[in-house]
């Protein structure tokens, strides 16, 4: 049974890796994915002889039949567990598996324990109220909302785009509150509404940001100002609103979204890099101010986290170049960034504040 589940997971993941494309290439052509699939295949093949011998030993009533069965079960369990893990990673996390019926097999293999039965005491975000901005797209915000739900949190999402927000909130089964982070009245209304609904906010994930490409010599004041207003000023407004709620309570966590561009130079990204560097500085200063009240403030700095919208708005050649800068030779999946956000938002990081965590090999 376990080897059958592992084999089915491998087959479905191989098919998925052939069909899904990044930068015009099948996901299965990337070395990291090849390695994952090869590991699963090897684990299954290694477990087969043990299963065959156990069946033979029982059929012949050999004295070591019980031991052979134990060895076979252990090997099959390891193969199934590895297949579960690698299938989830190749598919981009739990949320994406529903589109391909993989969840049926993962559930049989208990790979979906975070969503279908992990003991409550093991859920990193159990009973926490989490607010995530810019969570109605296809990027890090949505992935973070999903991971927080899987870890037991009650989630509130926000976005400027009301129709998309309504659809996403309905899909996730959460409260959605429209807000434009460039408008102070919207930010206040967002936090007030979330607190009115649930009584508190334990975690604020300030994800809203805006990019663009323009060399400084050609950049207009409008281009500069809109990126700074959404990415830096918007993060400031949400951080301020969160602190005004959390500091009097004496608890809370803020996770801001920065970028490796806050550290390294990239032509055409002066406005975005300045904004993200500002988010880093804002995070450190806010952490020092909030620490006496037992409120933690950290940030993540992703590099290239791939999602469909990014593939539409960025030049394919530029994307391929950015991939060459990554240690793993591929872009991150949004759920991989969300996992780090969940860690920083949880009590597992209780002694961390003022930190900028790179979700990449690119850091100073």
**Domains, the chain:** 2-108 (1.20.140.10), 119-359 (3.40.50.720)
| Confidence check: pLDDT of 169 > 80 | yes
Average pLDDT on 209-214 reads 90
Beta partners for residue 206, in sequence order = 256
Contact 207, 181 (CB under 8 A): no
Does the predicted model carry a pTM greater than 0.75? no
Contact 258, 299 (CB under 8 A): yes
Most confident of 177-186, 260-269, 333-342: 177-186
Contact 254, 295 (CB under 8 A): yes
Please give the positions annotated as active site: 272
pLDDT in tens, 91-121: 554 444 444 444 444 444 433 344 334 444 4
Q: Which helix (H) or strand (E) holds 178?
A: strand 175-178
- Report residue 341 as tokens: 């956000």
Greater pLDDT, 176 or 82: 176
DSSP for 31-77, please give it.
HHHHHHHHHHHHHHHHHHHHHHHHHHHHHTT-TTHHHHHHHHHHHHH
pLDDT at 46: 76
pLDDT in tens, 299-326: 999 987 655 555 545 566 665 666 666 6
Q: Which of the 8 DSSP states describes residue 363?
A: -
Share of the chain above pLDDT 70, in %: 68
Mean of all residue pLDDT scores within the chain: 80
- Report residue 169 as tokens: 């909130």
pLDDT in tens, 235-277: 999 999 999 999 999 999 999 999 999 998 888 889 999 999 9
| CB-count exposure of residue 71 (10 Å: 0-12, 13-18, 19+) | middle
Average pLDDT on 20-35 reads 57
Query: Sheet containing 252-257: which strands, arranged edge to edge?
Result: 175-178, 154-159, 129-132, 203-206, 252-257, 295-302, 356-359
Most confident of 30-44, 67-81, 90-104, 231-245: 231-245
* Strand bridging mode 21-22 / 25-26: antiparallel
């Amino acid at each position: 049974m376990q080897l059958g589940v592992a084999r089915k997971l491998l087959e479905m993941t191989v098919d998925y890796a052939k069909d899904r494309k990044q930068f015009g290439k099948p996901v299965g052509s990337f070395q990291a994915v090849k390695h994952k699939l090869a590991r699963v295949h090897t684990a299954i093949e290694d477990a087969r002889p043990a299963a065959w011998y156990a069946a033979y030993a029982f059929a012949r009533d050999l004295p070591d039949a019980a031991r052979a069965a134990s060895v076979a079960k252990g090997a099959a369990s390891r193969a199934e567990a590895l297949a579960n893990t690698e299938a989830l990673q190749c598919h981009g996390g739990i949320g994406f598996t529903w589109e391909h019926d993989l969840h049926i097999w993962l559930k049989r293999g208990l790979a979906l324990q975070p969503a279908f039965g992990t003991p409550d005491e093991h859920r990193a975000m159990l009973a926490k109220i989490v607010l995530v901005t810019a969570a109605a797209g296809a990027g890090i915000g949505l992935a973070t909302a999903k991971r927080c739900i899987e870890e037991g949190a009650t989630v509130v999402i926000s976005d400027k785009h009301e129709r998309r927000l309504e659809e996403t909130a309905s899909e996730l089964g959460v409260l959605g509150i429209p807000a434009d982070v460039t408008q102070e009245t919207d930010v206040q209304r967002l936090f007030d509404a979330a607190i009115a609904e649930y009584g508190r906010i334990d975690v604020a994930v300030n994800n809203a940001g805006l990019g663009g490409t323009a060399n400084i010599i050609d950049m207009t004041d409008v281009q500069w100002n809109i990126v700074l207003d959404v990415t830096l000023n918007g993060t400031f407004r949400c951080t301020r609103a969160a602190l005004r709620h959390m500091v009097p309570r004496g608890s809370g966590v803020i996770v801001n979204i920065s970028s490796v561009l806050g550290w390294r130079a990239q032509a055409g990204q002066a406005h975005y890099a300045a904004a993200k560097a500002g988010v880093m500085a804002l995070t450190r200063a806010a952490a020092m101010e909030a620490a006496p009240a037992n409120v933690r403030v950290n940030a993540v700095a992703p590099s290239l986290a791939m999602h469909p919208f990014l593939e539409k708005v960025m030049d394919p050649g530029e994307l391929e170049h950015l991939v060459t800068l990554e240690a793993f030779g591929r872009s991150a999946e949004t759920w991989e960034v969300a996992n780090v956000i969940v860690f920083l938002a949880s009590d597992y990081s209780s002694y961390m504040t003022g930190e900028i965590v790179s979700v990449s090999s690119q850091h100073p």
